[in-house]
């Protein structure tokens, strides 16, 4: 009986109720959308590097090592000598190792020297490998493979020339040794998209005439002569390491951290990512707080709507009382109306959320490399919806209590 009365009352005020439902639906969609993007961003963040057991670099901090070796942010405090790199590579617990050499740039994009093994062993997003959208992996000394963002931003195609600049913010370019774009990688949503990749030997080749960070005056070795030189690297910036057995990971990490020849640091990517996420987690908490306040504001708006309608409905309540309705029935009627309004708004918010995800998912993936999965509502999301409905019942207590206290005589009184 009371349910039928509540539904009829809501239909009688369909315009006001619809606006309240829409406000609650939009706030719920915003809150759950922020939660989806937050978890998707965290997963994409963690999936920037996958399948690598250790990252090795000069001794500094784990977050700093992760930032410059994986995210190309900042610089290394020092390099690893080639001899030390070879010692690590020869360790019996090492299954594979990939060198990384950083320091140069091309039009604000980082240039990374590495070996062909990088394209085989670098994984992201739970084991996905790098793929070439056009061209091929570098085969010549002066070949370069570029990320998707580099190609899109600079308008490069396979065969275009590239001139590498010395350092990150330098006006000095290695014009005597131009490179050629041999391949363009598919979009990954990782820092690889913003990287120009060349070989370790090419890093040595462009610095043949350089010493202590400056070019020797009057020296310009011909490219053909450079091709016949011994171009074994003298140092690397960092290395990605795969361990033969997961049980040996910590033992290998300890052995590298205690390496006697020079101070080195080996970190587990997952642990370093958690440390980095903890640093940037403040913004995540603030975003959740703002979206939660939007939901609270919508519920308060619903309470204000119920309050404002009480004067208009006083005669309605008085008629109910005159027909035998108990004060508790009036109290329950207003709470049930608020609960139904919030429930419909929560369902509408969930529908809007999945509609938005369906539209935005490919856009976020292609533009930002942020993969937001479209899956069934989680337990956490279900608890949020139940919380919204419960909160609506709580905020409706105040206007319901006021209606409860209205007397029959006051309801039937004609005000002038």
Per-residue pLDDT tens over the stretch 143-159: 999 999 999 999 999 99
Q: Which of 66-75, 220-229, 304-313, 394-403 has the lowest mean pLDDT?
A: 304-313
Average pLDDT of span 331-354: 86
pLDDT at residue 164, rounded to an integer: 92
The token pair that represents 212 in the structure block = 């202590």
Return the residue matching tokens 């903890």. Answer: 278
Return the residue matching tokens 């590097």. Answer: 49
Average pLDDT of span 59-63: 90
Q: Which of 19-23, 86-90, 182-186, 232-236 has the lowest mean pLDDT?
A: 19-23
Q: Are 358 and 374 in contact, with CB atoms under 8 Å apart?
A: yes
**HSE value, Cβ hemisphere, 13 Å, CA-based, for 307:** 11
Instruction: Specify the pTM.
Output: 0.72
* SS3 state at 26: helix
Alpha carbons 151 and 158: distance in angstroms, whole number? 9
Question: Cβ neighbours of residue 412 under 8 Å, at least 6 residues apart?
Answer: 315, 318, 322
Rg (C-alpha) for the chain, rounded Å, is 32
- pLDDT above 50 (res 357): yes
Average pLDDT of span 53-77: 91
Average pLDDT of span 214-240: 84
pLDDT in tens, 24-44: 888 888 888 887 877 777 777
Q: CA triplet 230, 115, 102: central angle to 5 degrees? A: 90
């Amino acid at each position: 009986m009371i349910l039928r009365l509540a539904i009829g009352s809501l239909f009688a005020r369909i315009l006001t109720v619809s606006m309240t439902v829409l406000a609650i639906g939009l706030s719920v969609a915003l809150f759950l959308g922020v939660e989806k993007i937050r978890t998707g961003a965290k997963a994409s963040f963690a999936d920037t590097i996958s399948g690598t057991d250790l990252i090795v670099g000069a001794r500094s901090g784990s977050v700093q090592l992760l930032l410059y070796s994986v995210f190309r942010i900042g610089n290394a405090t020092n390099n690893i000598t080639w001899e030390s790199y070879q010692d690590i590579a020869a360790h019996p617990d090492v299954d594979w190792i990939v060198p990384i050499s950083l320091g140069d740039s091309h039009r604000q994009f980082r240039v990374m020297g590495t070996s062909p093994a990088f394209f085989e062993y670098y994984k992201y997003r739970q084991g996905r490998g790098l793929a070439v959208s056009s061209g091929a992996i570098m085969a010549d000394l002066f070949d370069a493979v570029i990320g998707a963002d580099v190609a899109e931003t600079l308008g490069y195609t396979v065969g275009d020339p590239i001139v590498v600049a010395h350092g990150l913010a330098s006006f000095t370019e290695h014009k005597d040794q131009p490179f050629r774009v041999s391949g363009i990688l598919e979009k990954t949503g990782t820092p690889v998209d913003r990287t120009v990749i060349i070989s370790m030997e090419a890093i040595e080749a462009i610095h043949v005439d350089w010493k202590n960070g400056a070019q020797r005056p009057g020296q310009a070795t011909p490219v053909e002569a450079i091709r016949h030189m011994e171009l074994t690297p003298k140092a690397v910036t960092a290395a990605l390491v795969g361990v033969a057995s997961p049980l040996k990971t910590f033992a290998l990490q300890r052995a590298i951290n205690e390496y006697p020849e020079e101070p080195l640091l080996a970190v587990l990517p997952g642990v370093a990512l958690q440390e980095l996420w903890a640093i940037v987690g403040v913004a995540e908490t603030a975003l959740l707080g703002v979206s939660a306040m939007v939901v609270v504001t919508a519920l308060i708006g619903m309470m204000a709507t119920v309050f404002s309608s009480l004067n208009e409905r006083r005669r309605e309540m008085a008629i109910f009382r005159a027909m035998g309705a108990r004060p508790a029935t009036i109290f329950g009627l207003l709470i049930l109306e608020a609960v139904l309004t919030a429930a419909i708004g929560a369902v509408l918010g969930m529908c809007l959320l999945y509609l938005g995800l369906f539209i935005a998912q490919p856009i976020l993936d292609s533009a930002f490399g942020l993969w937001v999965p479209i899956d069934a509502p989680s337990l956490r999301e279900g608890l949020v919806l139940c919380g919204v409905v419960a909160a609506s019942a709580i905020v409706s207590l105040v206007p319901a209590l006021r209606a409860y206290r209205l007397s029959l005589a006051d309801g039937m009184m004609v005000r002038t």
